[in-house]
Amino acid sequence: MAAVKYWLMKTEPTSYSIQDLAAEKQQKTFWNGVRNYQARNYMRDEMKVGDKVLFYHSNATPPAIVGVATIVRESYPDHTSWDRDNKHYDPKSTAQNPRWFMVDIKLEQIFDEPLPLDTLRNVAALKEMELLRKGSRLSVQPVKRLEFDTVLKLAKKKR
């Protein structure tokens, strides 16, 4: 069995929040609409069942890590890319030749208090974290095990 990998997935809470995930049947959903090739490649090629995800609310006040999810289904074609009525439609993607992929996630934990970006910036163990790098905009990004564990410890301290 492959080692667990760790990820961070960004979402705008006005589009889809961790509370929306909590309200889903079985607290599961598909993570669709990713339209960046590097983020797509992480989802398509590297995410495996059992991998852990930091759930991040971007474009929020303040932007923050708000909880943890788990990958429960590995990549499969993102059907929204070939739906003309969907905002994620891509005319170059088809069911026969999909360009975009998605994974399924399941809620594991909502933090009692969000961990704001400014708080994360002041933690030495997170100084190399992709999220904190200047210009980092990927909506799906890898997280090191130490970074993941540090975030969980910070979440427990805030209780």
Domain boundaries along the sequence of the chain: 6-157
Check: CB of residue 74 under 8 Å from CB of residue 47: yes
Would you say how long the chain is, in residues? 159
The pLDDT assigned to 10 comes to: 98
Counting other chains too, the contacts that 151-159 makes at CB distance below 8 Å and 24 or more residues apart are 151/54, 151/65, 151/115, 151/120, 151/126, 152/68, 154/115, 154/119, 154/120, 154/123, 155/65, 155/111, 155/112, 155/113, 155/115, 158/111, 158/112, 158/113, 158/115, 159/112, 159/113
Tokens of 124: 């030495």
The pLDDT assigned to 157 comes to: 78
How far apart CA 33 and CA 79 sit, in angstroms, is 9
Q: What is the pTM of this model?
A: 0.93
Token pair 């991040």: residue: 56
Q: Domain 6-157 - what CATH class?
A: alpha beta
The pLDDT assigned to 62 comes to: 96
Tens-level pLDDT at each residue, the chain (159 residues): 679 999 999 999 999 999 999 999 999 999 999 999 999 999 999 999 999 999 999 999 999 999 999 999 999 999 899 888 888 878 788 888 898 999 999 999 999 999 999 999 999 999 999 999 988 889 999 999 999 999 999 998 765
